[in-house]
Structure 1
Amino acid sequence: MESHITSYITLVTTSAVLNLFLCMYTYFRRAHFPNANIFILYTASLSVYTFGYAIGLASNTLEQMKFWNIVQYIGMPISAPLGLLLMIHYTGKKLSKWWTSALFIIPTITVLLVATNDWHHLYYKKVWLREDSNVPVMAMEIGQWYVVHGAFTFSCLLCAGLILIAQWRHTKKMYRRQLLTLIVSQIIPMVAAFVYLLGLTPSGLDPVPILMCVTSAMYIWAILSSRLLTIVPIAKESIFESMREGVLVLDSSYRLVDFNRSLRLMLPEIEISMVGQPLNDIWLGLAGETFPVEYEREGLQTDLYWQLNGETVCYQVRTSYVFNKNPQVVGILIMLIDITEQRFLQEQLKQLAYFDGLTKIYNRTQFLNKGRELLQEARLNLQPVSFILFDIDHFKRINDTYGHDAGDQAIIHVVSVCNGYLNSEVLFARYGGEEFVIALPNMTNQEAYHLAEQLRIALLDQPLDIQGESISVTSSFGVSQTGSEADTLESLLRDADHALYESKRNGRNAVRVYSASVSSL
């Protein structure tokens, strides 16, 4: 056997051993390697490829060479897509299961066609032993599928290299050594395969397996020196796109520069075509107003309500500056955090704490708190405050005759009727049971009396319908008003209660205003 063939077999075998070492090393330390499974399969496929090629070169007959050619093709076709997958994962990206599977369609067909080539000659048109060599060397004439497979392999290597090169400027210096190793590991076999296809290699031998010795040695050096694949740099784009918070990036002129995947889900109306437009112009087109948050200031936290899929959602908006290395402000980050559930729970707690569960108006506790504030404000402004206390007449009779559900309906009915006559400035609350209270800022006794009469007449004129039966629901009212600095909320409510009692003593369905004579009764 000629010495250069022996040297060639030795180097190819060395490549196989190095790839096998990488495969075993990664397998036993797979817990420390991100994407370990892909790298294991990648190096295993290269081991099969190079071992098969080395033994094929050492074979003596054409049949032996054809057999080991089939063995090497078990590993070689899948190594290129595995390498591409490895580089894609290294840069923090992923392919869907469908696209991943699609990458292995051509390699699978290649393996089957090589194994059955004697029947169809689609991969090799003809295979023979070279006559110009002193040692047995297999020569072949390529078929149609060989071209397809070669183009696919070259495309995988090229795409992997371009992906890594594009990653260069986004990679910190501390990670560039391992990135360079990966780039070279893709370029070397790509160039070698191109040279081989041009027929420029000595004796027509494939240079790729021997150059695998170089790339494998580089992998081992990089793993030991820079912890290649153990510490994987996370691309800024990957972090940006994987954030759960929606992010808008503005330049110093408040124009939209970028936004991430989460923002596209939170605000589907934002489109790529809007990049470069001022944010206020974009928002004006989406919502009919400028952006409701003062984003020019850093550190702001504001709630933003938006309609998403027919439902109201709440986003907390946070702003922060983007600095360059000088440091100078070059832009603004606007982060949107979905706090819909949190706000919903807070609203529920607020409802439980401040509002009556049945009628949705203020409860007694909240009325007392707000009533004291209202009194204090009225004293500062030298304004009167009047109170109306009323309850449902013969409420027990409704409960006993029609049931407690009917009693609840009666309470809701009273509140509904009264709300039609009360504005947002008054305090309206369920004081307890079938009793209600209204606080009227800047209103005198006489004005409060007329309002109470309106409510009384409205209730009388709008009976409650229960199970098809019309039931008259009337109420008795008591009115009081501030008269001196000594008046407290409790004393004023007590005065209104005295007047309410007087209404009931005089036949119910009436309004009485508190006076000293009423108190003495």
Structure 2
Amino acid sequence: MESRITVYITLVAISGVLSIFLCLYSVYKRKDIPGSPYLILLTALQAVYIFAFAFELASDTLQEIKRWVVVEYIGIGFAPVLGLLLVIRYIAAALPRLLTYSMFAIPVITLIMTATNDWHHLFYKHIYLRDDTPTPMADVVIGQWYIVQGSYTFGCLLAGGLLLIWQWRKTNRAYRLQLFTLISGQFVPMIASFLYLMGVTPDGMDPVPFVLCITSSMYIWAMMSTHMLRISPIAKESLFESMAEGVLVLDLSEKLIDYNGAAQRMLPQLKASMIGDTLDTVWEKMCGNSFPIAREASGIQGHMKWQFRHSSSDYEVRSSVIKGKRGDIVGSLLMLIDATERYRLQEQLKQQAYYDGLTGIYNRAQFIHRARTMLEATEAKRQPVSLILFDIDYFKQFNDTYGHDTGDAVLIHTVTACRSLLPEDALFGRYGGEEFVVALQGYTGKEAVQLANRLREALPAAPLASAHGPLTVTASFGVAGADHSQYNLEAMLRDADEALYEAKRSGRNTVGIVSRSLAPESRPKPIPS
């Protein structure tokens, strides 16, 4: 019996040490833990109760035991109330301040009752030393107020447990383990206390201090492994999940803490198993690349294109900080706003404003705008620039003979055949009905003539397949070459048009050239087919 008591005192002391450790950890992490004052006080009072109980077991006289019982109720009388307030804070509920203060009325009365019990015996009718133990141990006959305090303690634990159970279905699966830990912290001490009152515990020992060792260990594990009580209270789920914007919750080290359903729908590869990973790691797991938007001092802000299977979406990405009650930053929210339709509309408007609706190349206005920009760049770099102006030979006959649908097909066929031969940095635009223009940076007039001839030869080499059979398409070309010091865009277009006119007058399917940088007598004649 004596050895069992020694082992029990040791276990109770270990429980007290764990409670102190949890209290100190809560103080250290108080900025990250909503409701940290309640948790700090709860664990501190648990430590007071546990060590007072250990000293009671080690006491030699009844009077000493009574003194430690009073100290025990400094801890155990108030702890259930603090536990309930912690649960209420965790589910993001709020109580009026007066009601919160009034919840401590019974524990205060209990403390007074235990300290003055020898005068009224309302808490314990009788406290006496047992005669069946080798060391002094007290037994009690409970009084009326003991029943009040016991009922109140059970009520607080039960209310906290039921509030948490009620939140179970609303809680993200990734956080149910931490919720289960909190539920256990409410019900396990209550069950242990009930078994003690029923007199079914070994040697009549109170198992609650030992059980608190277990629950304290669970709390420590939960806090250190799942970030319990950090940033993500349960009751935010209804609001969190109803948001149309995707939301990723990050802690200070950019680790993923939580996300809502909208984020999971926007990013189908996002999984609960990624919680705890950094933002870059999450992105690498989802798409093989780190997060695509740069971090700025003001936060994260930008546009992101997301590709999933055969569809793509455009998201506006914004971040905002999460502040604690003291105004310090405890994390951030990364919001994804679906802007797919807006970007598609912008792209359509851009296509209409910048590009020819039939062929997909620049329209006349956009070509002239970009060509002027190109000329400014060539002037700064002192590079040559050339223009190729060409139109389809006998285009009116295609329309008159085969119809406008075939005429449109001829235009598209011409653009397709030429585009594959043009350099990537060439500007290619539709200048008129069947007339096209190409601006070439860094090309001399002679180099532009060579390219124009390749274009001219490519067109008839690949006849257009139509309902009327293969149709051979040819075009006439005019080339204007100049260096930066001699030409502006309007002059180059006039010279290219003059060269094109010369090519048509010379029998079509030819290339003509005008270059002010060459002496007039050395200008090449139109090149026949």
Aligned to 1:294: 294
Aligned to 1:242: 242
Whole-angstrom distance in 1 between the partners of 2:298 and 2:484: 50
- Kindly provide the CA deviation profile for residues 203-240 of structure 1, in whole angstroms up to 9, marking residues without a partner as x: xxxxxxxxxxxxxxxxxxxxxxxxxxxxxxx9533222
SS of equivalent residue, structure 2 residue 478: strand
Using the TM superposition, give the Cα deviation of residue 171 of structure 1 relative to its aligned residue in structure 2, in angstroms. 3.4
> After superposition, what is the alpha-carbon deviation per residue over 1:449-472, rounded to whole angstroms, capped at 9, x for unaligned?
110000000002111122151111
Q: 8 Å contact 1:456–1:509 — kept in the other structure?
A: yes
Kindly indicate whether residue 315 of structure 2 is the aligned counterpart of residue 394 of structure 1: no
| Residues 1:178 and 1:313: Cα distance change in structure 2 (over 3 Å) | farther
* RMSD of aligned residue pairs (Cα, Å): 3.1
Deviation at 1:174, TM superposition (A): 6.0
Aligned equivalents of 1:342 and 1:163: distance in 2?
48
2:345 partner letter: L
Determine if the alignment matches structure 1 residue 265 to structure 2 residue 186: no
SS state of the match for residue 399, structure 1? helix
Q: Secondary structure at the match of 1:352?
A: helix
1:485 positional shift: 3.2
Inter-CA distance 397–170: structure 2 relative to 1 (3 Å threshold): same
| In 2: Cα distance, 1:174 partner to 1:492 partner | 80
Q: Separation in 2 of the partners of 1:178 and 1:367?
A: 74
CA 1:462–1:370 in structure 2 vs 1: closer, same or farther (change >3 Å)? same
- 8 Å contact kept, 2:428–2:438: yes
Match of 1:306 in 2: 306
Moved more, 331-340 or 507-516: 507-516
Residues 93-492 of structure 1 aligned to structure 2 (within 5 Å): 166-171=87-92, 173=94, 235-295=235-295, 297-308=297-308, 310-483=310-483, 485-492=485-492
TM-aligned CA distance change 1:176 to 1:473, over 3 Å = farther
**1:165 Cα shift?**
8.5
Cα separation, partners in 2 of 1:309 and 1:458, compared to 1, 3 Å: closer
Q: How far is the alpha carbon of 1:306 from its aligned partner?
A: 1.1
Aligned-residue offset at 1:473? 0.3
Measured in 2, the distance between the counterparts of 1:385 and 1:317 equals 41
Shift of 1:432: 1.1
Shift of 1:168: 3.9
Aligned-partner residue type, residue 256 of structure 2: L
Q: Which amino acid aligns with 1:415?
A: V
Please give the alpha-carbon distance, in whole angstroms, between the structure 1 residues aligned to 2:84 and 2:427. Answer: 66
User: Secondary structure at the residue paired with 1:470?
Assistant: coil
Indicate the larger mover: 172-181 or 369-378: 172-181
In structure 2, what residue type is equivalent to 1:435?
Answer: E
Counterpart Cα distance in 2 of 1:451 and 1:163: 83
Structure 1 residues 109-151: Cα deviation after superposition (integer angstroms, max 9, x where no partner): xxxxxxxxxxxxxxxxxxxxxxxxxxxxxxxxxxxxxxxxxxx
One-letter amino acid of the structure 2 residue matched with residue 453 of structure 1: N
Whether the 8 Å CA contact 2:445–2:515 is kept in 1: the answer is no
Deviations 1:472-494 (A, max 9, x none): 10000000122453522111011
CA contact (8 A) 2:481 2:515 kept: no
The change in CA–CA distance for 1:309 and 1:273 in structure 2 (over 3 A counts) is same
CA-to-aligned-CA distance 1:382-416 (integer Å, 9 cap, x gap): 01110000000000011111011010000000000
What letter matches 1:284 in structure 2?
Answer: E
Q: For residue 330 of structure 1, report the CA deviation from its aligned partner.
A: 2.5
Give the counterpart letter for 2:494 in structure 1. R
In 1: Cα distance, 2:343 partner to 2:438 partner:
29
CA shift at 1:258, angstroms? 0.8
The structure-2 alpha-carbon separation of the partners of 1:167 and 1:519, relative to structure 1 and needing over 3 Å to count, comes to farther
Residue 301 (structure 1) shift:
2.3
What is the distance in 2 between the residues matched to 1:488 and 1:331? 57
- Report the Cα offset of residue 164 of structure 1: 11
The aligned counterpart of 1:201 is none
- Aligned pair count reads 314
C-alpha spacing 1:353/1:439, structure 2 compared with 1 (3 Å): same
Q: Contact 1:427–1:440 (CA<8 Å) still a contact in 2?
A: yes
Instruction: Tell me the CA shift for residue 252 of structure 1.
Output: 1.4
Kept in 2, the 8 Å contact 1:358–1:412? The answer is yes
The alignment partner of 2:465 has SS state of: strand
CA contact (8 A) 1:284 1:290 kept: yes
Question: What residue is the counterpart of 1:507 in the other structure?
Answer: 507
Q: Please say if residues 317 and 335 of structure 2, whose CA atoms lie closer than 8 Å, have aligned partners that are also in contact.
A: yes
Question: Residue type matched to 2:436 in 1?
Answer: F
**What is the identity, as a one-letter code, of the residue corresponding to 1:347?**
E
**Pairwise CA distance, 1:329:** 2.9
Q: Which residue of 2 aligns with 1:5?
A: none
CA distance in 2, matches of 1:511, 1:178: 94
CA 1:446 to 1:519, structure 2 compared with 1: closer, same or farther past 3 Å? closer
Is the partner of 2:254 in helix, strand or coil?
coil
Q: Are the structure 2 counterparts of residues 400 and 248 from structure 1 closer, same or farther at C-alpha, using a change threshold of 3 Å?
A: same
**Which letter does structure 1 place at the counterpart of 2:493?**
L
In the alignment, what sits opposite 1:228? Answer: none
**For residues 423 and 293 of structure 1, what CA distance do their matches in structure 2 show?**
31
Gaps of 5+ in 2: 1-82, 104-154, 163-233
CA distance in 1, matches of 2:389, 2:296: 50
Q: Contact 2:385–2:484 (CA<8 Å) still a contact in 1?
A: no
Q: What residue is the counterpart of 1:7 in the other structure? A: none
**Cα 1:469–1:178 shift into 2, 3 Å:** farther
Question: What is the CA-CA distance between 1:277 and the residue it aligns to?
Answer: 1.1
Write the distance in 2 (CA, Å) between the matches of 1:248 and 1:264.
9
1:295–1:319 Cα contact (<8 Å) kept: no
TM-score with structure 2 setting the length: 0.55
Encode CA deviations 1:338-374: one digit per residue, 9 max, x unaligned: 0000000000000000000001111001001101100
Identity in percent? 47
- DSSP 3-state at the match of 2:398: helix
Provide the rounded CA distance (Å) in 2 between the counterparts of 1:301 and 1:334.
9
Q: 1:478 to 1:451 in 2, by over 3 A?
A: same
Classify the secondary structure of the residue corresponding to 1:293. coil
